[in-house]
Amino acid sequence: MTKESVEPEDLLKLKEEGNVASVHSEDPLKLKEEGNVAFKEGNLNQALKCYSKAIKLTREDSTEKAIYFKNRAAVYLKLNDYEKAFNDCNSSLDIVPNDPKALFRRCQALENLNRVEEAYRDARQIHSVDPGNKAIQPVLSRLHEIVQEKLRINAQTSNKVASMFQIAFDLQEPKDKRETAMNNMLVLAREPAGASALVEAGVIQKIGNLLKLEKNNEIFL
């Protein structure tokens, strides 16, 4: 039986020997064991209570506390509370940096929070510190494809923004072309990638300058 988990064949023995504590216990290790039992039995609320109390009873720099945090993160993942899972993984990694399990659970939380680039970074870190980890391989491949696709879309968006900028803010361009470019930028601004690209390109300053010079109201966004 490891520090991080209770194997199924050990559960009955723990109960028979009285080593599985009540949630009222003041022994963090016994609370962890009870949390492990509850988690494996699908009693997530009980597991949450046990791990939370174990965390409170353990000193800040304890490696055991890192285990309790990452175990509680596993509960939060099951409960689809990804923000709390992410925070608990951070707390665990603050104590034991580069722990593969904590990194993996943070990766899962980040992906579900749609923070794909950060999830991919964690997946790569897991592969670096634990190259033989088979569980991370499909995750790494999937996230790589998603990140590459996002980069491709962002590159296309940046090219569109650059092209529209060249037309929309050039007072020498025909009125109809400039109006079309402005309308296209308005459409792009409704998408996260488009809005980000426009801000990075300096659209706010450009529009401010344009307001001082432009006499055609149709050009204004």
Q: Where are the alpha helices (DSSP H) in 79-135?
A: 82-95, 100-112, 116-129
Summarised one tens digit per residue, pLDDT across range 70-107 is: 999 999 999 999 999 999 999 999 999 999 999 999 99
Question: How many angstroms separate the Cα of 102 from the Cα of each of 1, 2, 94, 137, 147?
Answer: 19, 16, 10, 16, 22
In the chain, DSSP assigns E strands to none
Residues with Cβ within 8 Å of residue 25, at least 6 apart in sequence: 31, 34, 53
Q: 12 versus 117: which is more confidently predicted?
A: 117
User: Span 132-144, mean pLDDT?
Assistant: 94
The per-residue pLDDT of the chain, averaged, comes to 83
Q: What is the pLDDT of residue 215?
A: 52
- Evaluate if residue 219 carries a pLDDT over 80: no
Residues with Cβ within 8 Å of residue 104, at least 6 apart in sequence: 122, 126, 133, 135, 136, 139
User: Span 149-165, mean pLDDT?
Assistant: 79
Is pTM beyond 0.85? Reply is no
Summarised one tens digit per residue, pLDDT across range 40-50 is: 999 999 999 99
Instruction: Specify the 3-state DSSP secondary structure of 130.
Output: coil
| Position 9 confidence tier, pLDDT thresholds 50, 70, 90 | very low
